[in-house]
């Protein structure tokens, strides 16, 4: 089984480069299943039904969320009807789920969406939720398990890796929009602290720099805006799974000027 993961898709620039590049990448790499994070997909905050349908049409199979999941209220009923996840460790009674199981190439693949704690809304314990959910999936005979850990703190992401390495196929971070250079495979688990945004690469976390710079200079906050025009990047991790273990992983950085940079995961024995 070959799966791919795209992190925070930021606004129209992110959606457009996925439209241009994802199907070509799926074909070239023989990718069976694509996971993408939607929480910034509609003008940087949440996702609309229209934009969700676009992303599914472009070749994404399931989408995960984060702290901006609820910014577009129209998503709430869609969490029950479309392959959309929200963080699994929201308290009981919140609409939707953060764990779904899919049939991929004759095998079962579980996708889990977990949200960290530092700087985030109130949620239940991320580590206990992830641990208990993985244990339940294992009891059901599901061995291929991927986790999108949406968190600010790199320590929380690394801690999740230490907790669950060898038990899941992959743990990859989202939320900071800044890609890290630590793609590795340890004990059959692919890990990346943050995959980085897909969208504008020449601004501040995919947003026009005017408001962030004003805030840095004066302390006065404003609403972030996604630029209409910018230089774009698609950042995606591709993982090959065998019997629930990741045996190969690569990070693709695809630029809208024609460049592609591919980084192989290092192996920890």
**Bridge partners for 109 per DSSP:** 102, 144
Residue among 197, 203, 195 at smallest CA distance from 225: 203
SS (H, E, C) 45-82: CCCCHHHHHHHHHCCCCEEECCCCCCCCCCHHHHHHHC
Marked catalytic residue, from 43, 68, 117, 175: 68
Q: Is 150 a catalytic residue?
A: no
Q: Note whether 134 and 145 are within 8 A (CB).
A: yes
Tokens, residue 266: 């290092």
3 state SS of 13:
helix
In this structure, what DSSP letter does residue 1 have?
A: -
Query: Residue with structure tokens 């774009």?
Result: 232
Query: Residue with structure tokens 């308290």?
Result: 91
Which are the catalytic amino acids? 68
């Amino acid at each position: 089984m070959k799966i791919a993961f795209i992190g925070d898709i930021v606004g129209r620039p992110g959606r457009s480069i996925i439209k241009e590049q994802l199907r070509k990448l799926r074909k070239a790499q023989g990718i069976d299943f694509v996971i993408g994070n939607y929480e910034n997909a509609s003008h940087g905050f949440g996702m609309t039904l229209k934009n969700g349908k676009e992303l599914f049409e472009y070749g994404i199979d399931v989408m995960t969320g984060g702290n901006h999941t609820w910014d577009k209220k129209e998503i709430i009923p869609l969490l029950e009807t479309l392959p959309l996840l929200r963080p699994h460790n929201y308290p009981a009674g919140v609409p939707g789920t953060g764990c779904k199981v899919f049939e991929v190439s004759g095998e079962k693949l579980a996708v889990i969406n977990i949200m960290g704690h530092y700087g985030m809304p109130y949620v239940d314990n991320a580590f206990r939720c992830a641990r208990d959910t993985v244990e339940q999936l294992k009891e059901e005979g599901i061995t291929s398990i991927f986790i999108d850990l949406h968190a600010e703190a790199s320590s929380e992401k690394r801690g999740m890796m230490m907790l669950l390495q060898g038990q899941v196929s992959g743990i990859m971070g989202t939320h900071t929009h800044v890609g890290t250079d630590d793609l590795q495979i340890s004990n059959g688990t692919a890990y990346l602290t943050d995959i980085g945004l897909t969208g504008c690469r020449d601004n501040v976390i995919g947003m026009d720099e005017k408001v962030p710079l004003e805030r840095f200079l004066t302390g006065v906050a404003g609403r972030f805006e996604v630029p209409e025009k910018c230089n774009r990047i698609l950042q995606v991790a591709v993982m090959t799974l065998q019997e629930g273990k990741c045996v190969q992983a690569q990070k693709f950085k695809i630029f809208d000027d024609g460049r592609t940079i591919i980084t192989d995961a290092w192996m920890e024995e």
